[in-house]
Structure 1
Amino acid sequence: MATVEAVSVPFREAIEFHRRKVSLPTAAWTDLYGAAHARAFTAAGAARDDLLADLRTAVTKAIEQGTSFAEFQADFDALVERHGWAYKGPRDWRTRLIYGVNIRQAYQAGRWQQLMDPDIVRMRPHLRYRHGDSRVPRPLHLSWDGRIVSRDDPWIMSHYPANGWGCTCWVEAITERQLQRLLRAGVAEIGAPDDGTYTWTDPRTGESRQIPKGIDPGWDYNVGIASMEGVVPAELQEPLPPYGEPSPLPPDLPPLPPVRPVDPARILPDGLDPQEYVDQFLAEFGATPGRPREFRDRSGGIILISEELFQVRAAGGEVVGSKADKFDRGRYLLLLADAIRDPDEVWVDWAMLASGKPALRRSYLRRTGLSGGKEMFTRFQWTGDAWHGVTAFNVRPNYLSKHRAGALLYRRPE
């Protein structure tokens, strides 16, 4: 891995990109995928909020003040001792990873915002890919050095740096005169190469993805576009405050995306056995009783789908009932599944567990148009070890607003 040093001149766009992130404790890097990292601050294995908060403070200091890697390591050592964090991997490798990835991604996101400035676009209409100073260059990254493409070329949408762990490539904007000079010198090529793809299987969900060759899994996205035009509009990107502090909402929270009509077949018959309702819900995600399935939602996060979601347990742990048919919920379980798979919005906020410990709670919201002009609002809330579902009809705006709290992780494009 190349030597990591602080960006010498921190700038406003990079700082703002980092500030808007939501801190999400994770156990592994696969807990989030791809562009989800443009909205979330994580460190694999940092599963406690207090630990992640201190890590974020150290990274923020580096981004905003341009502190050195050595100073970041000192901050890291202090927080590891304070929290007793048994992180994986050697200290030097782990600190370089956290420091380098966060600084480079903030820089690249801010850099893209600058590149898209109308004056820059007018004066410097072409983008030129440049290889970084990696000690062990990736052959394809090296082959892309000098490649010139337009800003709207699909290639730059997936190949904008960084393109993998330790990648130090970058992009510059050049003028028409520079382009012609480079072409005459024979050191530039115009247009995107066709290097093909490879198949990668998500170890958590089993889903297969086609990744462009030369790019590591999870890096096949443009961090600049994800920060400006991603799953959450920039004006709605607010960080999640620490537990116990109020969660302010954007001043002008827009309505939920337009209502979508439902296929009547998605409403199940009355009178089924509770287990039949559960089985049909699980089948929506490829799960079965006794065989749970991890599902990656639209925000890039993981939710565990299993029959335990519907089991009511006594204090001793034995199953004593089912949630599937309570409150006439059974008929609408497929609509609850739709809220998870294809929500209008996904929010994250704090909740207090029965154990007395705080935990992050995801809320999946969706409005559905039923027959006869009836409208249904569905909310699925999940904290990892418990869930709560709500189905309501023809609700008022103030009812909706109280369920849109915390930090917005995803909003369906309209």
Structure 2
Amino acid sequence: MSTEYGNLPFEEAEAFFRDKVNIPTRRWDDLKKGEHARGFMIAGAMRDDMLCDFRTAIDAAIAQGTTLETFRDDFDGIVGRYGWSYNGGRGWRTRVIYDTNLRTSYAAGRYQQMTDPDLLAYCPYWRYRHGDSRHPRLMHLSWDGLVLRYDDPWWSTHYTPNGWGCTCSVEPCSQRDLARAGKDGPDQAPPIEIDPKTGAPMGIDQGWDYNVGEAAFGKQLSAATMDEWRAQGSAAWQRLTPGDFRAASRPERIPADQAKAAIGPKLTTTAEAAKTLAGIMGAAERIYTVPTGGKILVNAEALAGHIDLDRSPYLPLLPEVLEDPYEIWLSFEQHQGTNLVVLRQRLIKMVRLDKERGLLVTAQARHGLLEAWTMIPTSKLGYIGKQRYGKLLWGRE
């Protein structure tokens, strides 16, 4: 029997899945909670080409509505092509892969739809719906019909799906919907009791106590609250990926390279910075190839908006930072206000300005786009060390 997924396919679910990055892993819990919203993985699949083939099969299921049986045929072909020895029986393993990816994509897409400001103005409440499974989980069944405001903290841990094979869902509700259900207002959120064995709330499988929509798109906050978080800058982001230069057995000191480009004049406007960057790159946009073989797109206008003009003389250093960094790091980070999870790539380089001064340059990319560029005249090991964290993707010998 194939699984039904309501109105799939729809663009939000497709976009959510296609925005993921392939990450080879040995175990499902190598990625934690919201990291699954940014990374595509099949536990035990360590080859990127095999992941790409699995991804194509899942993408077809989400975008075209192909069935579980069709995915199983694709699965058999991929396993045979790569000689993959996987854990678990074929029937169980294929259903887990298929269900997990389709249900989380559907739930994330629904979240994006339900948090549209126009829809929230009319339907500010969400209702939990039990999935009517043959073997219901009693706690999931007890939540059926529960109505809470969309911004109730309960949804940050109990937004569906809430475990392996969970078929529960969430639907938007208006004030009229509440009245038809005999309610004057939203319900009281159930108390959250933590299971000491799993660390997750009771009734939720280990590792599923997160909101896939918040992780993918961020929680809606008031303008004033968002301004407070913006004021914190990088301090608003929690690092999720363990590791640093010590764990990666990298030298404590970064050697300073002689700058290949001459330092330019100080600019006075963002428009000047954008024009200068375009001149340096030879175009308003350019794709750079970094030492890992990956690509980073740089848009001169967008990047200029993130640059402190006091540091504009260092703009000519951009190409050498991207093409000849000292290290490249990758890390999951979560915004502590919105719960948004991102996967960032950070390129590190030290440039010698003169005999006594060094310049630390950090280029930060997300979704293959250069989103920020920091230039700090410093040689302080403490500050430099704080930029070298996460998983080391590449390092100069």
Does TM, normalized by the shorter one, top 0.5? yes
Identify if the C-alpha distance between structure 1 residues 326 and 24 changes in structure 2 by more than 3 Å, giving closer, same or farther.
Answer: closer
| Aligned-pair CA distance for 1:196 | 1.1
| Aligned-pair CA distance for 1:212 | 1.5
> Are 1:199 and 2:139 counterparts?
no
CA distance in 2, matches of 1:326, 1:176: 60
| Aligned-pair CA distance for 1:226 | 1.2
| Aligned-pair CA distance for 1:135 | 2.4
Residue 275 of structure 1 corresponds to: none
Percentage identity across aligned positions?
42
SS of match in other structure, 1:227: helix
What does the per-residue CA deviation read over 1:331-380, in whole Å, with 9 as the maximum and x for residues that have no partner? Answer: xxxxxxxxxxxxxxxxxx9866xxxxx89xxxxxxxxxxxxxxxxx9986
Identify if the C-alpha distance between structure 1 residues 180 and 406 changes in structure 2 by more than 3 Å, giving closer, same or farther.
Answer: closer
SS of match in other structure, 1:26: coil
**Range with greater deviation from structure 2 (216-225 or 146-155):** 216-225
CA distance in 1, matches of 2:192, 2:167: 20
Matched residue count: 285
Residue 12 of structure 2 corresponds to: 13
Identify if the C-alpha distance between structure 1 residues 22 and 307 changes in structure 2 by more than 3 Å, giving closer, same or farther.
Answer: closer
Contact 1:130-1:145 within 8 A present in 2 as well? yes
SS of match in other structure, 1:173: strand
* One-letter amino acid of the counterpart of residue 197, structure 1: I
Residue 55 of structure 2 corresponds to: 56
* One-letter amino acid of the counterpart of residue 140, structure 1: M
Residue 22 of structure 1 corresponds to: 21
SS of match in other structure, 1:309: coil
SS of match in other structure, 2:74: helix
Residue 123 of structure 1 corresponds to: 122
| Alignment of structure 1 residues 148-297 onto 2, 5 Å | 148-183=147-182, 190-199=187-196, 210-229=199-218
CA distance in 2, matches of 1:350, 1:48: 21
Identify if the C-alpha distance between structure 1 residues 259 and 160 changes in structure 2 by more than 3 Å, giving closer, same or farther.
Answer: closer
Identify if the C-alpha distance between structure 1 residues 150 and 198 changes in structure 2 by more than 3 Å, giving closer, same or farther.
Answer: same
CA distance in 1, matches of 2:194, 2:244: 29
CA distance in 1, matches of 2:24, 2:10: 27
Identify if the C-alpha distance between structure 1 residues 100 and 259 changes in structure 2 by more than 3 Å, giving closer, same or farther.
Answer: closer
CA distance in 1, matches of 2:22, 2:370: 11
Q: Structure 2 regions of 5+ residues with no counterpart?
A: 220-231, 257-288, 295-320, 331-346, 352-356, 373-397
SS of match in other structure, 1:35: helix
* One-letter amino acid of the counterpart of residue 192, structure 1: A
Over the aligned positions, Cα root-mean-square deviation in angstroms equals 4.2
Contact 2:350-2:358 within 8 A present in 1 as well? no
> Are 1:134 and 2:123 counterparts?
no
| Alignment of structure 1 residues 70-109 onto 2, 5 Å | 70-109=69-108
SS of match in other structure, 1:183: coil
CA distance in 2, matches of 1:221, 1:350: 33
Identify if the C-alpha distance between structure 1 residues 147 and 379 changes in structure 2 by more than 3 Å, giving closer, same or farther.
Answer: farther
| Aligned-pair CA distance for 1:26 | 0.8
CA distance in 1, matches of 2:73, 2:234: 52
Identify if the C-alpha distance between structure 1 residues 218 and 71 changes in structure 2 by more than 3 Å, giving closer, same or farther.
Answer: same
CA distance in 2, matches of 1:156, 1:163: 11
SS of match in other structure, 1:149: strand
| Aligned-pair CA distance for 1:381 | 3.9
Q: Structure 1 regions of 5+ residues with no counterpart?
A: 202-209, 231-256, 261-296, 311-322, 329-348, 353-357, 360-376
* One-letter amino acid of the counterpart of residue 31, structure 2: L
* One-letter amino acid of the counterpart of residue 35, structure 1: G
